[in-house]
Copies of this chain bind each other. A is one copy, B any other.
Amino acid sequence: MKGMLARWERLCASSRILRFVDVNLRGVGQVMFQDNPLSGLLFLVAIGWGSYASGMPQVGWGGLVGVLAATLMAQWLRVDTAALNAGLHGFNGYLVGLALPTFVAVSPALWVYVVLGAAVSVVVMLGLTNVLKTWGVPALTAPFVLVSWLLLLATNAFSGLEGGALPPAGEIVPIDPSATDPLRFGDFVGGVLTSITQVFLKGHGPAAVLLLAGLAVSSTAAAVFAVVGAVVAVIAAHLLGAESQLVTAGLLGFNPVLTAIALGAVFYRPSARVAAYALLATVLSVIAQGAMIAAMTPFGIPTLTAAFVLVTWLFLMPGQKFE
């Protein structure tokens, strides 16, 4: 694997086109923190497959347009080359490109929205990175969340953008206890898989295998923490009495998956104390996602990865040392 990547890197060094391809693939890989073009390729294929399987090909294409627009914008802004080449300016644009066609009907204005949103995500990434480096904290997917929220909220004001697939705005209604079913094995496995695919806003369980493969080719620890995060999330959500359909659809698990990878395998070196710290944050991410679903109800917008960003920021801001 390493030899193959080294050969690819040499090819990219000699071709601006291949380098451009490489940067965009790494951009996709960075959705789960992997600075690795093969991870990105596997993620891209998994999400394209999931998009077609769920009858929404525009989501896969939206992601592709988003990551391309973001990379071009980053080049126009002459950003730091190291960050650009590591894909750090692509993942938010990719996610914006997945999110907008997920919630907004296809129209010419939607594609303007995707390009504009992806371009702006680079500006927000640069700004948040600049602010947060004061404390050594990364921007994570906050640019994606912020830009998507703005663009989705604004669909209420513009008839060219039809946000009929958005969650309905209204009053918060506490859970009906009868919506909590026993957790059967099939539901458990399904919930674990979709908790991983929902990181990319897809509920297509089988694609999780490709996503995990994409993680494993780059970092075994990341793949392990992704699975552990999903398992912990499904169990914790069920024990707290969450709505079974939400658990099974992965909608309470994708934030904990990202938190578990980030704290367990990316920003700290894995150890027993780190694992305990990451575990606490993972469980808190389940609760934070429950809170975000309620908090977003009056606004009629999806929570996206806000719970992951919030909890991971909170757990990185102390600058805690574990060694």
A interface, CB within 8 angstroms of B: 77, 109, 116, 119-120, 123-124, 126-128, 130-131, 134-135, 149-161, 163, 169-177, 179-180, 237, 239-243, 246, 252, 280, 283-284, 287-295, 298-300, 313-320
Known: A151-B291, A154-B290, A242-B158. A299 touches B172 (CB 8 A): yes
Q: Is the CB of B126 within 8 A of A320?
A: yes
CB contacts (< 8 Å) of A150 on chain B: these are: 284, 287-288, 291
Bound-state Cα–Cα, A246 to B175, Å: 30
Q: Is the CB of A154 within 8 A of B294?
A: yes
Q: Is the CB of B299 within 8 A of A299?
A: no
Known: A240-B109, A299-B294. A175 touches B151 (CB 8 A): no
For the residues of A in contact with B, the DSSP-based class is helix
16 A-B pairs besides A153-B291, A159-B176 with CB distance below 8 A are A116-B284, A120-B280, A126-B320, A127-B314, A127-B316, A127-B318, A130-B135, A131-B317, A150-B284, A153-B294, A157-B243, A158-B175, A159-B180, A159-B241, A160-B240, A295-B299
Known: A130-B318, A284-B120. A175 touches B159 (CB 8 A): yes
Q: Is the CB of A293 within 8 A of B180?
A: no
Could you jot down 18 A-B contacts, CB within 8 Å? A109-B239, A109-B241, A123-B318, A127-B316, A127-B317, A131-B135, A134-B135, A150-B284, A153-B295, A154-B294, A156-B290, A156-B293, A156-B294, A157-B175, A157-B291, A158-B175, A158-B290, A160-B240
Those 5 A-B pairs whose CB atoms lie nearest each other, nearest first: A127-B317, A157-B290, A159-B241, A126-B318, A160-B241
CB contacts (< 8 Å) of A246 on chain B: these are: 157
Give min CB distance, A230 to chain B, whole Å. 18
Bound-state Cα–Cα, A235 to B81, Å: 36
Q: Is the CB of B130 within 8 A of A317?
A: yes
Give min CB distance, A126 to chain B, whole Å. 4
